[in-house]
Amino acid sequence: MAAIFAAEGPAPVVVLERTADGGRKILISGGGRCNILPSAVAPERFVTDSPAHLLRGMLRSWPLAEQRRFFEDAVGIPLALEPETGKLFPQSNRARDVRDGLVALARRRNVRFQFGVTVAALGHGTRGWRVDTSAGAIHASRVILATGGLSVPPTGSDGTGLRIAAGLGHDLHDTYPALTPLTASSAPAFLSGLSLPVRLRAKWKGRTTESHGGFLFTHLGYSGPAVLDISHVCARSLMDGCGQGRASVRVCWTDTPAAEWESRLRGRDGSVLGALSRTLPERLSEFLMAQAGVPRDRRTSSLTRPERLALIERLTAYDLPWTGHEGYKKAEVTGGGIALDEVDPRTLQSRRHPGLYLCGEMLDAFGPIGGHNFAWAWATGRAAGRAAATQFG
């Protein structure tokens, strides 16, 4: 995206790409379908340790409606809304169409690609910048770093851009995996593969982060949109050196409030398992009953008050046991990164080095799943590209 808009200027544009084809995170997103955009942007759900107003300004610099028109008109990819999730996908449901469409548009604008090329160093040269690559040195008047973070290393994200930015004196906030599955040493194997919609609350340092959506039991622990959206809280609590302890995560397995469960479990006589299984998968119902110390054959009329209260607590505020996370290998994004006040919020130009632009996942900001991080990438890439096309260091 940065290259496409940088090509609007008079200078030739070269993309240096370490993989053989580029855009691999596009290819694996959305289960191979590519969730290009959300149907509504949510700046309040983004996470940053930088001033929030900078994040909001950068995200809103390219309104969602204009982004959609760009993909449909300029790239030539009709989009379709998935109503139940609020996500926008290409009508073809092919992520490859998105990647190939962007590359094709860049080439139509005379962008030159060098695939299979790695960058070893970036420094000031006689004509602005000298970029030392595996294919030799390149001299450029302006350089855009759009190298991503550390998530999913096989796609080419190995932190090169972050190291270059740090080496040039930029302030970086500690990085951590975000939108990554959680692990549990005692994950119940018989629940593996079970999924359902839930509400989660992660609490750490006195702050509560909430999410809702799909929850999936895995053979290693837990995944699904609701889990991914709070996983950064868990990841940060593990790396905290201030003795604040690990984050607590509680699950409300249904939309049924505690008072309604109280009524159901006090109502007409029937099996407790039957009362739960009308709303929850039977396997999960059995598990929660066991966790509450309620025998499988218990009837509602025989429930003791302590049993009923223990069961309601596990239905509405289950303390989810977790031990870790699956790290960058499964993380959809990287948390932390270059502090937002290190760049001009309108142009994304470095405040330390004129002629250098920083954008995308390298910056200290990420949003929830559902296309929000693509919206951030597109908006910041466009801003950096347009500025690089017109500004000179």
pLDDT tens per residue across span 31-42: 999 999 999 999
Which residue's structure tokens are 């889990």?
Answer: 227
The residues, any chain, with a CB within 8 Å of residue 174's CB and separated by 6 or more, are 239, 336
CA distance 4 to 18: 18
The torsion angles phi and psi of 390, rounded to 5 degrees, stand at -120, -20
CB distance 118 to 18 below 8 Å: yes
pLDDT tens, position by position, 360-369: 999 999 999 9
DSSP string for 165-214: HHHTT--EEEEEEES--EE-TT--GGGTT-EEEEEEEEEETTEEEEEEEE
Strand partners, 392: none
Q: What would the mean pLDDT of 341-348 be, rounded to a whole number?
A: 98
Q: Which residues contact 96 (CB under 8 A, 6 or more apart)?
A: 27
- Mean of pLDDT values over 4-22: 96
The H or E element containing residue 249 is strand 248-252
Q: Tell me which residue has tokens 């109280």.
A: 262
Give the integer Cα–Cα distance in Å for 373 and 191: 31
The H-assigned helical ranges of the chain are 2-6, 24-28, 52-59, 64-69, 95-108, 160-167, 225-239, 258-266, 272-277, 282-291, 305-316, 372-390
Cα 40 to its chain centre, rounded Å, is: 16
- Is the predicted pLDDT of residue 393 greater than 50, yes or no? no
Residue 99: closest CA among 184, 159, 156, 60: 156
**Do 357 and 165 touch, CB atoms closer than 8 A?**
no
Contact assessment for residue 198 and residue 226, using Cβ atoms and an 8 Å cutoff: yes
- Residue 86 has a pLDDT of 93
Range(s) of the chain covered by CATH 3.50.50.60: 2-177+333-390
pTM for the model stands at 0.95
Mean pLDDT of 192-206: 97
List of long-range contacts for 371-375, beta carbons under 8 Å, 24+ apart: 371/35, 371/36, 371/37, 371/38, 371/87, 371/88, 372/38, 372/41, 372/42, 372/45, 372/46, 373/179, 373/332, 373/333, 374/29, 374/35, 374/36, 374/37, 375/37, 375/38, 375/41, 375/59, 375/64, 375/67
Helix (H) / strand (E) containing 358: strand 356-358
| CA distances from residue 263 to 208, 298, 318, 388 in whole angstroms, order as listed | 29, 17, 19, 64
Closest by CA position to 300, among listed 271, 273, 261, 262: 271
CATH architecture, domain defined by 2-177+333-390? 3-Layer(bba) Sandwich (3.50)
Tokens of 259: 């008072």
The pLDDT of residue 24 is 95
* Residue with token string 């709070």: 230
Of the candidates 235, 236, 198, 234, the residue with the CA atom closest to the CA atom of residue 216:
198
Residues 6+ apart with CB under 8 A from 211: 199, 200, 202, 225, 226, 227, 229, 230, 368
- Per-residue pLDDT tens over the stretch 159-194: 999 999 999 999 999 999 999 999 999 888 899 999
Query: Is 60 exceeded by the pLDDT of residue 314?
Result: yes
241, pLDDT greater than 90? no
Of 382, 372, 331, 386, which is closest to residue 87 (Cα–Cα)? 372
Q: In what order do the strands lie in the sheet with 87-90?
A: 37-38, 87-90, 79-82
Chain-centre distance for alpha carbon 201: 18
**What is the tens place of the pLDDT at every residue in 285-308?**
999 999 999 999 999 999 999 999
- Cα angle 259, 262, 263 (rounded to 5 degrees) comes to 90
- pLDDT category, 243, cuts 50, 70, 90? low
